[in-house]
Chains A and B, each alone.
Chain A
Amino acid sequence: MAGTYVDTWSNRFSSNQWVWWTERDAVGIAKFNPNTERFTSPATAQAGKKVTLFYYKKAAQFTEPSAAGFSWTAVSDFPSQFHDYVVAKAIALGYEKKPETIQLAQYFHEKFEKGVKEGRSFAYRARAGTVKYIKAVDF
């Protein structure tokens, strides 16, 4: 936390800096002074200033038929190539309810696991290109 950087609020170099953390389902934002180890909450000077959170989110839930807003044409937030895996999990959950179909549940759980692996790989690199290993060449 120590070190200097440009404090954008005072336009001067400072060892104090704004930090964030999560606690009790909330994000905390305060200015940290490493010398006094004190945290100061946003004050009048910062009131109304925008904070942007970049985050991973859950897919929007499908509305149940009995509720307002239900639509048969609703589409999952996931890219279409992964919809099949979501369906596989739902099928597995259905098969789990009967002891005699546990083996079938296992098959669909495994299909879902394959989907998780593919999904993680997609999330990690697909939109930024494949991971490339660059080998150094000595001229």
Chain B
Amino acid sequence: MKLKEMVEMVQQHHPDMGVTEIVKMLNIAQDEYSQRTRMLEKATQFDLADGQRYYALDGAILEIKSVDMEAADGSADHVNIPKLVGRPIRRDLT
């Protein structure tokens, strides 16, 4: 269903509502649907940097499922690394 069709369906119930307002409400609906169904999945890559421990996350990421790290043996293998429960006791904010 294209945006035009979605807007028209909403306008059948709310004929006085402007397109901008309807688009905003569709976006609210999409955010909630994403959050609650966890239906959409994706993967992204970044490079490790010398001495850098933290890497900013895109706002579209709801929850990280798993993390792979490139193997050091020169192969194209990526190795799954485990999730730490909690966070390190000794702080390092780099």
Contacts and interface: CB of A to CB of B under 8 A. Distances in A.
Given A21-B87, A116-B33, A62 B43 contact: no
B51 A78 contact: no
B16 to A, nearest CB: 10
A75 B52 CA distance: 38
Contact of A51 (B25, B41, B46): B46
A75 B35 contact: no
Contacts of B4: 72-73
A18 B81 contact: yes
A22 B64 contact: yes
Interface residues of A, number: 80
A56 B71 contact: no
Contacts, number: 279
A44 interface: yes
22 contacts: A8-B71, A26-B56, A26-B57, A49-B48, A50-B78, A53-B46, A54-B68, A56-B38, A58-B62, A59-B30, A63-B23, A72-B7, A76-B6, A79-B39, A80-B1, A82-B39, A86-B26, A86-B30, A90-B26, A90-B28, A112-B29, A119-B37
